[in-house]
Chains A and B, each alone.
Chain A
Amino acid sequence: MNLSKEEVLKIIFLARLSTKEENLDQMISDFNNVLSYVDALGKVNVDNIEPLAHVHESYNIYREDVCGNGMTTEEALLNTSDRSGSFIRVPLIIEGES
């Protein structure tokens, strides 16, 4: 299956990559090549096969409700380039934008 340029652009935006890439056409063509390659799975018969999401059958791994392993604000924001005091600053969010 090959996706049209418009369809690939939608994927690019959904993934928050840039649609202004220099080598956009190459990206689209590579994407379609790989997609055609994985399309081979379509023919595999998987009737009555349960999907495998977790390779080992382990269950009920949880922790007790206790605090620990915390970080100071400075450690947490060690790599934050745009700050306002202890806040992280971003461009003004327009309501409903996401």
Chain B
Amino acid sequence: MSNLHELSLKQLRTGLDNKEFSSKELTEHSLARIASHQDLNAFINITPEVALAAAEAADQKIKNKEVKSLTGIPLAIKDLILTKGIKTTCASKFLENFVAPYNATVIEKLLAEDAVIVGKTNLDEFAMGSSNENSAFGPVINPWDKTKVPGGSSGGSAAVIAAGLVRATLGTDTGGSIRQPCSFCSITGIKPTYGRISRYGVTAYASSLDQVGPMAGNIEDLAIMLNALCGKDPLDATSVTLKTPDFTKNLGQDLKGLRVGMPKEYFIDGIQAEVRTAVENAVKQLESLGATVVPVSLPNTEHAVPTYYIIAPAEASSNLGRFDGIRFGNRATGCETLEDLYCESRSQGFGIEVKRRIMMGTYVLSSGYYDAYYLKAQKVRRLIKNDFDRVFAKDCDVIASPVTPTTAFELNSRVSDPIQMYLNDIFTIPVNLAGLPALSVPCGFDQNNLPIGLHLIGKAWDEETLLKTAFAYEQSTEWSKKNCYK
């Protein structure tokens, strides 16, 4: 079958279980497509041997009718997440040769569902970036337009779905790193509530903001992936003891009684007009599906980006202290003193944006500046969270907004202007600061045929309402069916 890459996870499940095709065939198809799409630079490491061995084992299980939700289905993993025995580079020169000695909990969970891992996807180094141009292994290309960025930091994980190489991937989202590339690449992705999914084995960027999430071609696939990934992990003290619902269960329910909030601070001047129109149309569509639309206000939104660029670098500067060249990773040669070894190993190993954030984080935590920057940012963070708490308590059940102010931008157009780059995440960052779940679902294209995403933000632990809303929207529009497969 030559159209295997067009099937959803659910269709793949049926096809595999009915022996219409084998996992081996499916995996080979995926690997062949990966090989013919090398120009996207979406993978850092492809693992055909591991994948084919897993596929054969999966076929055996299918034969024995021991089938789990992902048995035999090829997936790709953002290369920030540790995979035992496989290189995990975080797109950093520092970890160019780092072989993970253990599996992240999310990997264990996917393997427990018999998933087939075909490789590790490209990203912005240590997940720091919004364009995937900060990778030590080169930028990822947007499959919709090869002159454009795919978004970041989970750019590889988005591009491989958009190009039809695999049907689902793992990403991570600290300030929009799942949602923004999904929006730029016309796929779906969810950042779950902070604490929903274990962070164990996920290289930490900003620990209080990081969250793993699935990316997929449609909302139902996203729900299937989410089912496999959620749950309390005794190895992650910030993961929460909460029953994982069946996220596919409420899909297909109508939207009667649903209140959709439209925050005025998210529909401001400066947004690309087509983006604004597409999102407003999407909200109208939700209304036509039975939802009520209510204007809401999140007055502290404007402070979110500066708050994020204090808190995230502070935590990053701390988390990246372990990359010292001593136990693993790049070790500079010819250093006579310990200080030289530290400085040279790190300086050689880290890219410019990583250095920038380490410097900023070091500064805002340093003696005499902690109160003015870090503590202040934590207080503003509470104001931002309070905004959401207030509107969710009385006004609405979900919030709708654009994912990004613009569609995918030109490669190399913003790399020299960090602040311009940071502002890209203006609508996604507040969600991480408040620890809430949010997703991106395709809602249109601009005049250059570049995708636009609808951003839906939910109450803490209420991914079900988000998925239900997005599913109803997706089913009633054609946007998700459009693809750029070659």
> Is chain B a partner of chain A in the same complex?
yes
CB of B414 closer than 8 Å to a CB of A:
no
A31 engages B327 (CB within 8 Å): no
Q: Which residues of B contact A71 (CB under 8 A)?
A: 101-102
A61 engages B208 (CB within 8 Å): no
The distance from the CB of A90 to the nearest CB of chain B, in whole angstroms, is 6
Q: Which residues between 78 and 98 of chain A lie within 8 Å of chain B, taking CB atoms?
A: 78-82, 88, 90-91, 93-94, 97
Q: Which residues between 299 and 353 of chain B lie within 8 Å of chain A, taking CB atoms?
A: 300, 303, 306-307, 309-310, 317, 324, 326-329, 331, 335-344, 346-347, 350, 352
CB of B99 closer than 8 Å to a CB of A:
yes
Closest to B372 in A: A42
CB of B382 closer than 8 Å to a CB of A:
yes
B327 engages A80 (CB within 8 Å): yes
B310 engages A97 (CB within 8 Å): no
Interface residues of A (CB under 8 A from B): 3, 8, 11-21, 23, 27, 30-31, 33-35, 37-42, 44, 46, 49-56, 58, 61-63, 69, 71, 75-82, 88, 90-91, 93-94, 97
A8-B355 Cα distance, complex, nearest whole Å: 12
What would be 18 A-B contacts, judged by CB atoms less than 8 Å apart? Answer: A16-B339, A17-B347, A18-B344, A31-B360, A35-B363, A37-B419, A44-B300, A49-B380, A52-B382, A54-B208, A55-B194, A55-B385, A58-B238, A69-B235, A71-B101, A79-B98, A91-B341, A94-B338
Neighbour of A38 across the interface among B195, B366, B373, B382, CB < 8 A:
B373
Closest to A31 in B: B359
Neighbour of A56 across the interface among B343, B366, B380, B460, CB < 8 A:
B460
Interface residues of B (CB under 8 A from A): 97-99, 101-102, 194-195, 208, 234-235, 237-238, 240, 300, 303, 306-307, 309-310, 317, 324, 326-329, 331, 335-344, 346-347, 350, 352, 355-356, 358-360, 362-364, 366, 372-373, 375-383, 385, 418-419, 422, 433-435, 460
- 8 closest cross-chain pairs (CB), A and B: A55-B435, A18-B347, A51-B378, A79-B328, A46-B379, A52-B382, A16-B342, A15-B362
The verdict on A14 contacting B328 (CB below 8 Å), with A41-B310, A69-B235, A79-B99 known, is no
Closest to A15 in B: B362
B327 engages A16 (CB within 8 Å): no
A15 engages B339 (CB within 8 Å): no
Closest to B300 in A: A44
The distance from the CB of A50 to the nearest CB of chain B, in whole angstroms, is 6
The verdict on A82 contacting B331 (CB below 8 Å), with A49-B383, A52-B381, A52-B382 known, is yes
Neighbour of A17 across the interface among B238, B336, B343, CB < 8 A:
B343
A34 engages B378 (CB within 8 Å): no
A91 engages B336 (CB within 8 Å): yes
A81-B375 Cα distance, complex, nearest whole Å: 39
A19-B340 Cα distance, complex, nearest whole Å: 11
Neighbour of B355 across the interface among A17, A39, A53, A76, CB < 8 A:
A17
